[in-house]
């Protein structure tokens, strides 16, 4: 059985706090953009998708944070944040970043 998932982009070091903050919410508790499991008035979150069933798509236009760094993204469906997460690198010089961090592909 496929479960719907979402994607939230957050400040570094906040995935656990964000994931845990919505863990007890109901999937039908939606915000004004019809998104579930998105913390309300929570500054660590700077972009978030809706819960999407398998095969569905949603485009997110993200305004990158002004400060360069390694940001994080996660799924906040209860129990998912711990294994469904990754990093978003914000840099003004991709080539220099990749040269300094060859492990990143």
Q: Which residues bind Cu ion (CB under 5 A)?
A: 5, 75, 77, 80, 84
Residue of closest CB approach to Cu ion: 75
Contact 84, 74 (CB under 8 A): yes
Helix or strand holding residue 71 (H, E) = strand 69-74
- Measured at the CA of 51, the angle between CA 78 and CA 105, to 5 degrees, comes to 85
Nearer to Cu ion by C-beta: 25 or 91?
Answer: 25
Q: Which residue, 54 or 66, is less far from Cu ion as judged by CB?
A: 54
- Asked if 97 and 103 count as a contact pair (C-beta separation under 8 A), the reply is no
Minimum CB distance to Cu ion smaller for 35 or for 80: 80
73 close to 7: Cβ distance less than 8 angstroms: yes
Distance in Å, CB of 74 to Cu ion, minimum: 8
Distance of closest approach, residue 27 Cβ to Cu ion, in angstroms:
12
CB 84 → Cu ion: shortest distance, Å? 4
């Amino acid at each position: 059985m496929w479960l719907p998932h979402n994607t939230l982009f957050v400040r570094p070091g906040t995935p656990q706090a964000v994931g845990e903050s919505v863990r007890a919410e109901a999937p039908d508790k939606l915000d004004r953009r019809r998104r579930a499991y998105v913390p309300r008035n929570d500054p660590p979150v700077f972009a978030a998708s809706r819960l999407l069933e398998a095969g569905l798509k949603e485009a997110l236009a993200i305004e990158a944070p002004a400060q360069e760094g390694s940001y994080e993204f996660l799924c906040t469906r209860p129990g998912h944040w711990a294994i469904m997460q990754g990093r978003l690198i914000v840099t003004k010089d991709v080539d220099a970043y990749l040269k300094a961090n060859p492990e990143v592909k």
